[in-house]
Amino acid sequence: MTGKTAPAEELLPPLLQQFVRLIGLPATLRFVEQYGGVRVYIPAEATAEHPYAELIGLDNLRALCAEFSHDGHGLRYPLPKATAALTAARNARIREEYKHRTARELALLYRLTERSVERIVAGADQASDLQAQLDL
């Protein structure tokens, strides 16, 4: 880990680090937020109508299909929940948004307590980030 908390990408399991290299961190995090914890089917061919294409974009889905399908067949993969990475990304968003919003507004938006938002902004969330790593 670097600094106070590791960047979200460093907290991701190896499979999701591959996703990041192919489609970027924002698309990977959206994918994990939607499907983390269940098996996902990566099709052999990407179509614009596929739900994944709507979520991460058709070009990103094509990149995943090219990398994760095999011999013209789609394959199923268990998609990790990546709790630590999602928490780190959420906390980074909260720190950034705190410049323009109150702790109360952020608490309501992220379904946290005001005290939790204040601890995150103050950087005291290191312990919760460490606990989240154990939940991976």
Q: What is the pLDDT of residues 40-96, one digit of tens each?
A: 999 999 999 999 999 999 999 999 999 998 888 999 999 999 888 889 889 989 999
Assess whether 55 and 92 both reside in one domain.
no
Long-range contacts of 39-46 (CB under 8 A, 24+ apart): 39/76, 39/77, 39/78, 39/79, 40/76, 40/77, 40/79, 41/74, 41/75, 41/76, 42/68, 42/69, 42/74, 42/75, 42/76, 42/77, 43/69, 43/74, 44/69, 44/72, 44/73, 44/74
Q: Would residue 1 count as lying in a domain? A: no
Assess whether 107 and 56 both reside in one domain.
no
Domain count for the chain: 2
Assess whether 113 and 96 both reside in one domain.
yes
Assess whether 67 and 90 both reside in one domain.
no
Q: What is the pLDDT of residues 99-113, one digit of tens each?
A: 999 999 999 999 999
The domain in which residue 91 lies consists of 83-134
Assess whether 56 and 108 both reside in one domain.
no
